[in-house]
């Protein structure tokens, strides 16, 4: 995997880590799952918070959209993550979790490793 791609994916993982940190700081339960299926590698983060209000769901990945108070969020984390994952032919999304909170996930197509040049 080329270095720029690694850096981009680290940004997405950092955004998910912030989601986890916020949930833990609020004393919520957090579950991180990873896996692969049908040619896709995936990671998801679920928390036991209140979830996302239905009226906010469609806006989650829009640039500068945030539900945080002024000065506490730029609204760019999920938007940048969306662009990065889509640029790699991946999928990113949100769904309501089984614990009542939110589940944020992304999936990337599994690509065979390139042979190393000696």
User: In terms of DSSP H, where are the helices of 74-117?
Assistant: 77-87
User: In terms of DSSP H, where are the helices of the chain?
Assistant: 3-25, 54-57, 77-87
**Which of 33, 34, 73, 27 shows the shortest CA–CA distance to 50?**
27
The most confident of the ranges 10-14, 20-24, 75-79, 112-116 is 75-79
- Asked if 95 and 87 count as a contact pair (C-beta separation under 8 A), the reply is no
- Asked if 63 and 79 count as a contact pair (C-beta separation under 8 A), the reply is yes
pLDDT tens for 76-91 read 888 888 998 898 899 9
Top-confidence residue, 60 or 114: 60
pLDDT tens for 40-79 read 999 998 988 888 899 999 999 999 888 777 777 778 888 8
Q: What pTM does this model have? A: 0.77
């Amino acid at each position: 995997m080329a270095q720029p791609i690694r850096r981009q994916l680290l940004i997405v993982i950092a955004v998910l880590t912030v989601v986890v940190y916020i949930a833990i700081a609020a004393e919520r339960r957090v579950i991180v799952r990873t896996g692969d299926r049908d040619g896709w590698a995936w990671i998801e983060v679920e928390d036991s918070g209140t979830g996302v209000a239905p009226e906010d769901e469609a806006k989650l990945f829009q640039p500068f959209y945030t539900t945080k108070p002024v000065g506490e969020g730029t609204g760019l984390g999920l938007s940048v993550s969306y662009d990065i994952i889509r640029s790699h032919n991946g999928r990113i999304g949100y769904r309501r979790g089984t614990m009542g909170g939110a589940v944020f996930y992304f999936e990337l197509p599994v690509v065979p490793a390139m042979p190393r040049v000696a």
